[in-house]
């Protein structure tokens, strides 16, 4: 009997030792809500995430092989566009909106600044087909992928079938994007009592909770809703936000509340990238709010901050930077997928 | 005891035996079999007295989704097809033949289905088969399937190349374009669904209405008009 017990302990120990540390492909960070994405319809696997990552970085997805998803969603900028206010697509065509930073997408109920897309799987269709973005079509992308031996092999490894379809392509892209979880900022470590805010950051945190947290709700720093945060309309774009989709006047100038994680890397800010610096954003909330019919109730009463308090708030916002996310080698350009020979 | 097993086996056997109902979609224009890329002459609706009311029209493509097939008995559902999504494409005769497979002893006297796709599927994750976005029936810039797509030319269209494109879809609340249809089945062996597109053109003022490319009131109205075309023979 005792021997049996020893055997049991030995076997369990061996099993534990050989467990792949990457086995858990998606973990819900402590104290976070349940994700909204339905993983049961798109079961994560390492091979699919790897495939999705290759697709994300491959300009094959654009009409003239020049633009990849990463052109507008660069990892080092928390997956938003480098330096442009409005996104640039093929032939340097300029879109009408700023590309959002991509992270924690499993917790979003809708996508795009106006919520036009209800499911992450379908999101990739938009840039692939948009004439100002990648200017191609999913039909064309799938037929090109089917022509590539590299991808036929990768799809085979991921799905056990080398026939490439739109469904498999889009699901793989979703898998990579779902893996982009940012939950290791100083703020997170403070919440887990592993670190402490400086006095300034702590003051900023309490200002944040008074003035901003209703919309930029912790821990995701967005309530996943739409609001008019008082930005004056840019007459050259005339973007009415959610109203374009719902056709209801009550939705005029409502935009999705973005997350505030990794702001340090994701400039410029707002749906049209009108602010380059966080200090401009804070000044907007303090002295730039434009009153209109749909202005959010939370912003009807002026937010009054002294110059010191503005600096405190800014210091807090910078605690949301997650270096390990931005520089995570698992999220970067997959060199060894595209040039297997260079793997040494 | 043995007999009981045998009995169960027999019951199962008869219950799991398969029967089928072929459903054929048959497309017409003014009573003739519909041909794509062919000019048809028809009487258009006069918008005012002076208008010429003869128009020629040509269809380049006609595609639509039929979904959620059900058999009914006295209005009550007795069988539902699983994963019931069928893309009908005028260019592809095979797509116009749907085969419903159900248990042998199903007793039914009616057929139910939808023109379009339900809202849960519309807003859910990506699907394969006829729902794969490579079929070109998905709006890319916003969520949702195009339920019904008719493209072609009419001399009345003041557009480039006289083109019209009617993309009907939309699934949320007031913009929902899915239409439910139900019919009495006189012949339980075969169902032929007939649509005559000339009836669809009645009530379309091509001069003013030639591009519907997003959900909204116009798409809802035209979807109702498209649903009214279905006749069961």
Of B122, B138, B172, the CB nearest to A125: B138
- CA max distance for chain A: 82
Packing angle, helices A166-178 and A149-159, rounded to 10: 70
- Average pLDDT over chain B reads 90
Question: Over the stretch A139-148, which tens digit does the pLDDT of each residue have?
Answer: 999 999 999 9
Please tell me whether residue A259 adopts helix, strand or coil conformation: coil
Cβ–Cβ below 8 Å for A116 and B124: no
Burial A153-169 (b: 16+ CB within 10 A, else e): ebbeebbeeeebbbbbb
- Average pLDDT over chain A reads 90
Query: Do the beta carbons of residue A56 and residue A177 sit within 8 Å?
Result: yes
Of A38, A130, A170, the CB nearest to B133: A170
**pLDDT higher than 70, residue A171:** yes
**Distance (Å) from the alpha carbon of B125 to chain A's nearest alpha carbon:** 5
Mean pLDDT value of segment A335-339: 90
Of B126, B142, B175, the CB nearest to A170: B126
Query: Do the beta carbons of residue A39 and residue A323 sit within 8 Å?
Result: no
CA dihedral for A101, A105, A110, A111, sign (positive or negative): positive
Please tell me whether residue B108 adopts helix, strand or coil conformation: coil
Q: Tally A–B CB contacts below 8 A.
A: 69
Question: Over the stretch A4-21, which tens digit does the pLDDT of each residue have?
Answer: 556 555 555 555 544 444
Distance CA B199, CA A111 (A): 39
pLDDT band at A342 (very low <50, low <70, confident <90, very high): very low
CA dihedral for B197, B198, B201, B207, sign (positive or negative): positive
Token match 């030995």: residue?
A: A10
Q: Residues 6 or more apart from A276 whose CB is under 8 A from it?
A: A267, A268, A269
Question: Over the stretch A32-45, which tens digit does the pLDDT of each residue have?
Answer: 999 999 999 999 99
Question: Over the stretch A79-138, which tens digit does the pLDDT of each residue have?
Answer: 887 666 666 666 566 667 899 999 999 999 999 999 999 999 999 999 998 887 888 999
**pLDDT higher than 80, residue B16:** no
Classify residue B15: in a domain, yes or no: no
pLDDT band at B78 (very low <50, low <70, confident <90, very high): very high
Query: Do the beta carbons of residue A205 and residue A263 sit within 8 Å?
Result: no
Distance CA A317, CA A259 (A): 11
Of B61, B39, B43, residue with least CA distance to B52 = B43
Burial label for A90, CB within 10 Å (0-12, 13-18, 19+), is: buried
Site from A61, A109, A167, A247 to mutate, B interface, most B CB atoms within 10 angstroms: A167
Classify residue B3: in a domain, yes or no: no
Question: Over the stretch B142-160, which tens digit does the pLDDT of each residue have?
Answer: 889 999 999 999 999 998 8
Distance CA A177, CA A180 (A): 5
Query: Do the beta carbons of residue A332 and residue A293 sit within 8 Å?
Result: no
Q: Return the percentage of chain B with pLDDT > 70, whole number.
A: 90
Site from B127, B133, B213, B218 to mutate, A interface, most A CB atoms within 10 angstroms: B133
Distance CA A198, CA A74 (A): 31
Query: Do the beta carbons of residue A169 and residue A142 sit within 8 Å?
Result: yes
Mean pLDDT value of segment A283-304: 96
Question: Over the stretch B165-199, which tens digit does the pLDDT of each residue have?
Answer: 999 999 988 899 999 999 999 998 999 999 999 99
Distance CA A256, CA A114 (A): 6
Burial label for B19, CB within 10 Å (0-12, 13-18, 19+), is: middle
The verdict on A9 touching B (C-beta cutoff 8 Å) is no
The verdict on A247 touching B (C-beta cutoff 8 Å) is yes
pLDDT band at A341 (very low <50, low <70, confident <90, very high): low
**Paired strand residues for B181:** B113
What pLDDT, on a 0 to 100 scale, did the predictor assign at position B2?
A: 57
What pLDDT, on a 0 to 100 scale, did the predictor assign at position A96?
A: 74
Domain span at B100: 20-232
Site from B117, B143, B216 to mutate, A interface, most A CB atoms within 10 angstroms: B143
What pLDDT, on a 0 to 100 scale, did the predictor assign at position A44?
A: 97
Query: Do the beta carbons of residue A333 and residue A57 sit within 8 Å?
Result: yes
DSSP H helices in chain B? 2-16, 119-123, 197-201, 217-227
- In degrees rounded to 5, what are phi and psi of residue A17? -65, -35
Q: Report all structural domains of chain A as residue ranges with CATH numbers, in order of start.
A: 33-181 (1.10.760.10), 186-323 (1.10.760.10)
| Bridge pairing between strands B211-212 and B163-169 | parallel
Question: Over the stretch A50-83, which tens digit does the pLDDT of each residue have?
Answer: 999 999 999 999 988 888 999 899 988 888 876 6
Mean pLDDT value of segment A299-328: 96
Of B66, B72, B101, residue with least CA distance to B84 = B66
Classify residue B143: in a domain, yes or no: yes
Please tell me whether residue A284 adopts helix, strand or coil conformation: helix
- Using CA coordinates, name the residue in chain B closest to A247: B216
Distance CA B147, CA B117 (A): 7
Please state the domain count of chain B: 1
Tell me the residue ranges of DSSP E strands in chain A: 226-227, 255-256
Concatenating the DSSP letter of every residue in A68-108 gives -HHHHSBGGGTTB-SS-SS-B-GGG-B-SSPPPPP--GGG-
Distance CA B38, CA B57 (A): 8
């Amino acid at each position: 009997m005792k021997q049996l017990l020893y055997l049991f302990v030995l076997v369990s120990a061996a099993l534990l030792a050989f467990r792949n540390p990457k086995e858990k492909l998606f973990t819900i960070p402590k104290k976070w809500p349940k994700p909204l994405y339905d993983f049961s319809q798109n079961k994560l696997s390492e091979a699919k995430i790897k495939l999705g990552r290759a697709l994300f970085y491959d300009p094959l997805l654009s009409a003239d092989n020049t633009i990849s998803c990463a052109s507008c969603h660069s990892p080092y900028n928390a997956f938003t566009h480098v330096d442009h206010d409005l996104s640039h697509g093929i032939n340097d065509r300029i879109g009408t909106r700023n590309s959002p930073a991509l992270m924690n997408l499993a917790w979003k109920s809708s996508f795009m600044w106006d919520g036009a897309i209800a499911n992450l799987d379908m999101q990739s269709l938009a840039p692939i087909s948009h004439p100002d973005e990648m200017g191609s079509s999913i039909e064309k992308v799938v037929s090109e992928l089917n022509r590539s031996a590299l991808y036929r092999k990768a799809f085979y490894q991921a799905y056990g079938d080398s026939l490439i379809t739109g469904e498999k392509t889009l699901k793989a892209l979703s898998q990579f994007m779902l893996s982009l979880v940012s939950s290791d900022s100083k703020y997170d470590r403070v919440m887990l009592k592993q670190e402490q805010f400086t006095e300034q950051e702590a003051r900023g945190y309490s200002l944040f909770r008074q003035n901003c947290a209703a919309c930029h709700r912790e821990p995701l720093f967005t309530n996943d809703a739409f609001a008019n945060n008082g930005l004056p309309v840019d007459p050259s774009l005339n973007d009415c936000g959610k109203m374009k989709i719902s056709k209801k006047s009550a939705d005029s100038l409502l935009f999705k509340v973005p997350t505030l994680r990794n702001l340090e890397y994701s400039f410029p800010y707002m749906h049209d990238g009108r602010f380059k610096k966080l200090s401009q954003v804070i000044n907007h909330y303090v002295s730039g709010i434009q009153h209109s019919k749909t202005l959010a109730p939370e912003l009807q009463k002026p937010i009054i901050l002294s110059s010191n308090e503005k600096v405190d708030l800014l210091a807090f916002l910078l605690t949301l930077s997650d270096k390990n996310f931005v520089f995570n080698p698992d999220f970067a350009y997959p060199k060894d997928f595209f040039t297997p020979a260079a793997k040494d | 005891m043995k007999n009981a097993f045998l009995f169960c086996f027999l019951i199962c056997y008869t219950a799991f035996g398969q029967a089928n109902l072929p459903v054929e979609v048959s497309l017409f224009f003014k009573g003739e079999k519909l041909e794509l890329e062919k000019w048809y002459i028809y009487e258009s609706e006069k918008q005012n007295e002076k208008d010429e009311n003869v128009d020629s029209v040509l269809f380049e493509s006609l595609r639509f989704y039929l979904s959620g097939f059900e058999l009914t008995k006295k209005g009550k559902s007795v069988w539902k097809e699983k994963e019931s999504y069928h893309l009908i494409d005028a260019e592809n005769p095979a797509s116009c033949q749907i085969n419903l497979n159900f248990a042998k002893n199903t007793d039914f006297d009616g057929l139910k289905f939808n023109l379009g796709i339900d809202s849960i599927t519309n807003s859910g994750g990506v699907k394969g088969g006829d729902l794969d976005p490579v079929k070109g029936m998905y709006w890319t810039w916003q969520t949702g399937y195009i339920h019904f797509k008719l493209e072609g030319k009419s001399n009345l269209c003041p557009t480039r190349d006289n083109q019209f494109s009617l993309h009907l879809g939309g699934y949320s609340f007031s913009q929902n374009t899915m239409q439910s249809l139900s019919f009495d089945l006189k012949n339980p062996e075969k169902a032929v669904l007939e649509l005559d597109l000339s009836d669809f053109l009645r009530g379309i003022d091509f001069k003013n209405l030639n591009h519907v490319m997003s959900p909204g009131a116009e798409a809802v109205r035209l979807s109702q008009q498209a649903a009214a075309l279905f006749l069961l023979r």
